[in-house]
Amino acid sequence: MRYDTLILDLDGTLVDSYDALAIAVNHARQHLGFPALDSEKIKGFVGDGLETLLERVFAPLPVPSHARELFEERYDAVCCAESRPLDGVIETLATLHALGVRMAVCTNKPTSFSVKIVEHLGIDRYLDAVVGPDVAGARKPDARHVEAALAAAGGSRDAALFVGDMLVDVDAARNAGIACAVVATGATGIDVLRRSQARHLLRRFADLVGVVTGTSRRRGPMPGTRLIFFDADSTLAAIEGIDELAGGSVEIAALTTAAMNGEVALGEVYARRLELLRPSRGAVDELSRRYLDTMIPDAPETMEALRAAGMEIFIVSGGFEQAILPLAEKLGIPQRCVHAVRLEFDVAGNYAGFDRSSPLTRNGGKETVVMNVRARSKGKAVFIGDGITDLEAKPAVELFIGFGGVARRERVCGEADVYLTEPRLTAILPHIILKK
């Protein structure tokens, strides 16, 4: 990644709290006998800290002695209800957090109010720290404020990026010697931001993912995505389920490898492997535990980021439904979104067959399942998998991501739209998530 630490402004960058500020300002003014100010005028005074805000809204007169107390009393009451996350912020922070990016807020707002707001909005789960001027002992554009936030995040200057919406943020980053990105979501016009000479100019907060990962100039994320399909074996978990049941059987492992590499038709080997194995209910229950034990470590964070971005997630697997459902539950994927092959058992728990009508027992089955899901859903689709049977679903989706983090299949590597070799699922996120 290009940057591993983000120092984030709050107002106008992550949240819109201008209404709350206007309410508190006018509460103080009216209580002290001054007329209310237009909220847009107050918005133009924001960004340089509470002391400066009060000086501006009471100018040319001195700030009355009780003005701050009145402001803080009212702001404390309304700051949560009158604040909202800006477009794309939640899903982008979730993605960056899943990618392991350190993040700290550096705001000229008092720390207590800032913490209260980010906790109310659920943003705090993605942050390593919130640093206001009262904690730092200085306020932006003073470099000490940025340095305090950087230290709290555990980052270093050379891999850090300051993200803000105002010129004070650009100056703060420059004074601290770190790169800066400005996002045109606050009170500062885009023409002013363009002249600021910040390293990156973002029209949307969601564009930050490409900047951080260094993918913004390559094939970028795909807008309009709604449906995400995952294979299970060697994708969500680091095993091939049927090989686990086989307990090291060379014959069954060879059949699995041949099918996954496209050397033999899946339909030719599916029933044969099961007849050789005849797995009991107890063996399948044990397999479900193996799926959980070998789950790709960052799979939960990946699912959280995808859901935060409004994606619907499915599992499409030629594996066994009873064994995969606990893994799906762990990842927050409902049973209705799990497509796998159901095994049959007798009353004693002995193997009695499988659902031979399932398209997932033969080649082309995953494409069929994806097309059936898409027939009743809207939005673009992505499939992530490791094998040839996954690659067969490529015509049914806008983007096929080959996952080579567990097993590398040469044909999949050659034909996937994107091929990933690292053993982590968060690597898919920059290719998928963007503000729709």
Show which residues are catalytic.
Answer: 231, 233
205 close to 185: Cβ distance less than 8 angstroms: yes
What residues does 8 pair with on adjacent strands? 105, 163
Residue 297, Cβ neighbours under 10 Å: how many? 12
Q: How far apart are CA 61 and CA 401, in angstroms?
A: 62
Residue 112 has a CB neighbour count (10 Å cut-off) of 15
Report which residue type is found at 330: K
What angle (nearest 5°) sits at the alpha carbon of residue 131, between those of residues 133 and 13? 100
Q: Exposed, middle or buried by CB within 10 Å (0-12, 13-18, 19+), for 125?
A: exposed
The whole-angstrom separation of Cα 164 and Cα 367 is: 44
d(CA 94, CA 126): 7
Task: Say which DSSP state 233 is in.
Answer: B
Q: Cβ neighbours of residue 47 under 8 Å, at least 6 residues apart?
A: 11, 12, 108, 166, 168, 186, 187
Whether residue 65 contacts residue 71, with contact meaning beta carbons closer than 8 Å, is answered with no
Four-CA torsion 374, 379, 384, 387, nearest 10 degrees: 30
Is 50 strand, coil or helix? helix
Strand ranges across the sheet with 200-202: 129-131, 102-106, 5-8, 160-164, 179-183, 200-202
